[in-house]
Amino acid sequence: MFSSSRDTATPARHLSKIPAPHIGTTLTVGAALALSTIPSLLPRLPLPQGLLTGVLVLLALTLVGGTRLILTHRGTASGQRVSEPARWLVVAGTCAVLAGLEWVTQQSLVVRSAELGMPALPPTYWLSATAWALLVVGVGLTVGAGVRRLARVNVRRTSVPLVAALLVTLTVTTAAAGPIDLLAPLRKTMDPQHVLLIDSPAGASRSFARVDEARSPEAGARLAVDRMVAEGGLERGAILIALPTGSGWVNREAVTAFETQLDGDVAVVSAQYGDLPSWWSFLIDQKPAMRSARALVQEVLTQVAELPARERPDVYVHGESLGALAGQAAIADVDASALCGVIWSGAPGGEISGHPREVSLHNADDPVRYLSGETALSQPEDWPTTWLPGLSYGTTVLDLGASLLPDAGHGHAYGPEQDWTLPLC
């Protein structure tokens, strides 16, 4: 009986022996958690919120560990001078502040999501975010411990860690270079209702080349222009070069507006250069987009230049997202007089080409607009929310995953609410 009582009390005694964290650790990690609730351009989904929180906590723990290591190395580290109850009191106070901050953040996210027409936050939002954050912290600490252990290994005594590392590297490299398509889950199939694959209600000519119809971006561009010429595109009053996103998508609202403005007397031409999302092409491999845009612009201008001056159609260029970036590079060396006008929407970093007849459309809360290194160092002129150096650039990158979820006119969604008027010659 007495033994059972002692066994029951054992867990309580064990809990009472858990040391309270140092006040510096509590406050540093608390500050990291507070910073992770900073508002960004768009309401963060649970996954990016968890990633942000996890990374900031890892940075906080690294800062605390590094500071202690330096103080210990210098012999200036002092013993714990604050009592255990006082340290637990700091923990409790920090948790209370963070709980209040979380509640305020939750209310703000609910209101903002409703304003943008985004899906309502799930009831398990903070539970999911916390799980992702713990996973990031756990992986980070495990990797850090492994690196430290590997660094202590005497290579002369054992080569097992080095051999293991080499085998892992070889396995990953072989898998990437092998016949297995590791990017298959990211690839997008062409929508049969793609705007350039259906007839124009305005009577415009539409020409398009799929990525699987040509061996290179240049060949695809030539094929698209050949189709345009065969359909009588050079006999139209205008030609619109529509530069697609990474997956070949072209904005239906923009094309429809252009065709309406030009009374259907226009040939729209475009070529797909890939089937991966724009974010992948932008971050990993921009070359296909650049090559395709340059070839498409040059092919059209060459065809137009061969016509008598009075019979030449006006040439316009439109690009959205990565298409805007590729279009600006493609016309950099083109005589401005060869193009009547250019119009971009959602250009990464808010870049422009400097063409004398240029229109650039941007939503105020589009993260792609602020995807520039300058965002990390200085607050952009039209930044609509709280800005902090470095951190706000990180939240902008995380916002990319939700950039297409809001209603048109917000995020990276550009629709009929935009002024798609082409700048005429």
pLDDT in tens, 148-207: 777 665 444 555 555 555 555 555 555 445 556 666 777 878 788 899 999 999 999 999
Q: Which of 138-152, 216-230, 247-261, 293-307 bottoms out in mean pLDDT, i.e. has the lowest?
A: 138-152
Q: Which of 174-188, 272-286, 288-302, 391-405 bottoms out in mean pLDDT, i.e. has the lowest?
A: 174-188
- Nearby residues of 214 by Cβ (< 8 Å), 6 or more positions away: 220, 222, 223, 271
What does the domain layout of the chain look like in residue ranges? 10-177, 194-402
Question: Can you give the pTM of this predicted structure?
Answer: 0.82
Per-residue confidence (pLDDT) for residue 76, from 0 to 100: 64
HEC letters along 307-352: CCHHHCCEEEEEEECHHHHHHHHHCCCCCHHHCCEEEEECCHHHCC
Residues 73-122 pLDDT 10s: 776 655 557 788 888 898 899 999 999 998 999 899 999 999 999 988 88
CB of 404 closer than 8 Å to CB of 386: no
Cα 85 to Cα 21, 89, 91: the distances in Å are: 11, 6, 10
Q: How many C-beta atoms surround the C-beta of residue 104 within 10 A?
A: 10
The percentage of residues in the chain with a pLDDT greater than 90, rounded to a whole number, is 68
DSSP 100-160: HHHHHHHHHHHHHHHHHTPPPPPTTHHHHHHHHHHHHHHHHHHHHHHHHHHHH--TTT--H
Per-residue confidence (pLDDT) for residue 161, from 0 to 100: 55
Per-residue confidence (pLDDT) for residue 326, from 0 to 100: 95
145 or 308, which is more confident? 308
Chain mean position to CA 421: 28
The percentage of residues in the chain with a pLDDT greater than 70, rounded to a whole number, is 87
Element containing residue 293 per DSSP (H, E): helix 287-305
Per-residue confidence (pLDDT) for residue 22, from 0 to 100: 86
Q: Is the pLDDT of residue 279 over 80?
A: no
User: What are the two backbone dihedrals, phi and then psi, of residue 297, each rounded to the nearest 5 degrees?
Assistant: -65, -45
Considering the four listed CATH numbers 3.40.50, 3.30.160, 2.60.40, 2.40.170, the one that applies to the domain covering 194-402 is 3.40.50
Q: Is the pLDDT of residue 10 over 70?
A: no
| pLDDT level of residue 16 (50, 70, 90 thresholds) | low
> What is the mean predicted confidence (pLDDT) over 226-238?
96
Query: Going by DSSP bridges, is the β-strand pair 266-271/358-361 parallel, antiparallel, or unpaired?
Result: unpaired
Closest to 29 measured CA to CA, from 113, 120, 94: 94
Residues 128-150 pLDDT 10s: 999 999 999 999 999 888 877 77
| pLDDT level of residue 3 (50, 70, 90 thresholds) | very low
